[in-house]
Amino acid sequence: NIIPVIMAGGSGSRLWPLSRDSFPKQFLSIDGSGSSMLENTLDRLHSESISNPIVICNESHRFIVAEQLRKKNKLEQNIILEPSGRNTAPAVALAALHCLKTSNGNDPLMLVLAADHVILKEDIFLDAVMMGTKYAADKHLVTFGIVPDSPETGYGYIKSGMAKGDNVFEIERFIEKPNRISAECYLNEGGYYWNSGMFLFQASSYLNELKEYRPDIYDCCLKAYETSNNDSDFLRVGCDEFLHCPAESIDYAVMEKTKNGLVIPMSVGWSDVGSWSSLWDIQDKDEHNNVRHGDVITLNSNNNYIFSSNALVTTIGVENLVIVQTEDAVLVAEQSNVQRVKDIVNTLKINE
């Protein structure tokens, strides 16, 4: 059996003003379906060989997560709480320790997932996961590769090596978030995949690699886990111990360094919804190429992403804009500038 581990501790600042610290994007419905990204992630795991998930998130979001798990009938003491995020390497370590402890001496397979990804072709995705199980059971750290179509710098890049099986390759190099020039080189050179940010491995495989490459993180997580306490639906890890843990992502801490990595390329309509323009890319458009949510009227306007929460939003003669209206804030940005929404959020934090 595979245990999904859903990482849900990110702040999602690039989808401000809809996504807020108190209610980040993974808990919101951003596609108008009424289901949150976390709920969609839960729904995606419909296979008999996949058991109930573990969700790991920030203390302050515990009731949102519990509610969304309950709604899907998947709440059963399976939420791990971090007092404050230390990025994904520690989060996955806590989940791995928990998987080992609760599996009666077994060393279960963990399917590590982000709570904020869109996957359009769920069956193909599940096929790729099932294909990976044999390799993960053989101590490999399996990644899922996406064929890149632009030199994005927000992703990890995986250079595939020798074939290990049908559509399974060794990892020759893993480069987390390269600069623009390197990303362009990788694209021209070919043979590179984006890291989708999802992983499949045995709990002990991950912990052994972490112990080898980042013993400092491993030690802090072990202490934090050993001093954790159960509070009905929640497992709270030892606060002081965890706060001492260095903050690092699984990609830098383990995946760039491990020699046991494999990549399974897949075409599943994947998006990590990293910005408003990536939402424009994947959502349904009107006859003028506008994506519209809520009460919106456009005249002579093309290629815009317009989201209204609770007011009428109207546009005349504008192009390539992102307009997002919420109860207490409005964003108007050129699509080409949407990555800088993060800077606005930082400015707001400084002025707080």
Residue 277 in contact with ligand GDD, rule: CB under 6 A? no
Neighbouring residues of 327: CB distance < 8 A, sequence distance ≥ 6: 309, 310
Q: How far is the C-alpha of 330 from the C-alpha of 308, rounded, in Å?
A: 9
Read off the amino acid at residue 29. Answer: S
Within 247-276, the residues that bind ligand GDD by CB under 6 A are: 251, 272
Within 39-58, the residues that bind ligand GDD by CB under 6 A are: 56-57
Residue 66 in contact with ligand GDD, rule: CB under 6 A? no
Q: How far is the C-alpha of 204 from the C-alpha of 265, rounded, in Å?
A: 24
Residue 333 in contact with ligand GDD, rule: CB under 6 A? no
Q: Which of 64, 96, 102, 90 is nearest to 230 (CA)?
A: 102
Part of the chain binding ligand GDD (CB under 6 A), chosen from 110-118, 282-290, 321-329, 337-345: 110-118
- Closer to ligand GDD by Cβ: residue 115 or 126: 115
- How is residue 32 written in tokens? 């108008």
Cis omega before residue 83 (within 30°)? no
Dihedral over alpha carbons 195, 201, 203, 205 (to 10 degrees): -90
Residue 88 in contact with ligand GDD, rule: CB under 6 A? yes
156 binds, among Mg ion, ligand GDD, none (CB under 5 to 8 A by kind): ligand GDD
Residue 85 in contact with ligand GDD, rule: CB under 6 A? yes
Q: Nearest approach, Cβ of 288 to ligand GDD (angstroms)?
A: 30
Residue 91 in contact with ligand GDD, rule: CB under 6 A? yes
Residue 14 in contact with ligand GDD, rule: CB under 6 A? no
- Closest-by-Cβ residue to ligand GDD is 9
Write phi, then psi, for 233 (nearest 5 degrees).
Answer: -75, -15
What one-character-per-residue DSSP string does 200-252 give? EEEHHHHHHHHHHH-HHHHHHHHHHHHT-EEETTEEEPPHHHHHTSPP--HII
- Closer to Mg ion by Cβ: residue 37 or 64: 37
Interface positions with Mg ion (CB under 5 A): 272
The single residue among 53, 108, 151, 156 that binds ligand GDD, judged by CB under 6 A, is 156
Q: Nearest approach, Cβ of 190 to ligand GDD (angstroms)?
A: 18
